[in-house]
Amino acid sequence: MAKKKGKKAAEKQAVQSPAAGLKDKVKEFIEFFEESKVEIKKVVWPTRKETVTTCIAVLVVSVVIALYLGVVDLALSKIVEAILS
């Protein structure tokens, strides 16, 4: 039964003209942008102070993690060097 439904849907698509498909795509495109516009209006954007604070926090955490990984890498390389020599 599923095959019959699939064939009917394929026949319907084949019957539609390419212009009708294009019009549908244009309508979907316009509808997408209208809905996007509504959603963008709902967004609460961060203030400049919040953005700067978050940026500084990310930079500090990145530097701390980089230093930690550098120390661990240095320690492990000294351990491997001691074992191999």
Most confident by average pLDDT, 7-11, 28-32, 54-58: 54-58
**Confidence band (pLDDT; 50, 70, 90) for 54?**
very high
Mean pLDDT of the chain: 86
The terminus-to-terminus CA distance of the chain in angstroms comes to 74
In the predicted model, is pLDDT for residue 36 greater than 80?
Answer: yes
User: At 17, is the secondary structure helix, strand, or coil?
Assistant: coil
- Number of structural domains in the chain: 2
- Domain match, 50 and 40 both: no
CA distances from 66 to 24, 56, 75 (A): 52, 15, 14
**Domain presence at residue 22:** yes
**Confidence band (pLDDT; 50, 70, 90) for 7?**
low
pLDDT at 82: 94
* Type of residue numbered 67: L
DSSP designation for 47: P
CA gap 13, 20 in Å, rounded: 10
Note down the domain range covering 83: 45-85
